[in-house]
Amino acid sequence: MEFIQQNILLVTVAVVSGAMLLALSVRRPGSANSLTPTQATLLINRENAQLIDIREPNEYVSGHLSDSRNIPSESLAERAGELEQFKDTPVILVCQSGARSSAACSTLAKLGFSKVHSLAGGTVAWVEAGLPLKKGARK
């Protein structure tokens, strides 16, 4: 108790910084359904997760995850029928930075998809993790 009284400023700084870190980790947008590249790789390998790249076609051609399907975010709701067979399997949405895919997760969730995830950090995080991108259109 004497230590706390003598170092009140130090203790206050430690408590405030800890509270701020906790608040940031709890309030991170999309954290409930976001996956790191490692988690995404495990989900792809273990549960045959489907990859949906929601970037524009020109972004997709410049580099995308192998075996991903390109459905731009603007047409995701209209083209959801193409994904009907994956309603009960894991679906991972991918964009450049993770912002668009987080928003698109709610669109698919409203359409009845039960296991929708977003790749946190998008293709940027994928490349930073040392994982490969495939160039060109999907064959």
Cite the active site residues. 95
CB 118 within 8 A of CB 105: yes
CB 129 within 8 A of CB 38: yes
Phi then psi for 100, rounded to 5 degrees?
Answer: -65, -40
CB 93 within 8 A of CB 105: yes
Return the amino acid letter for 67: D
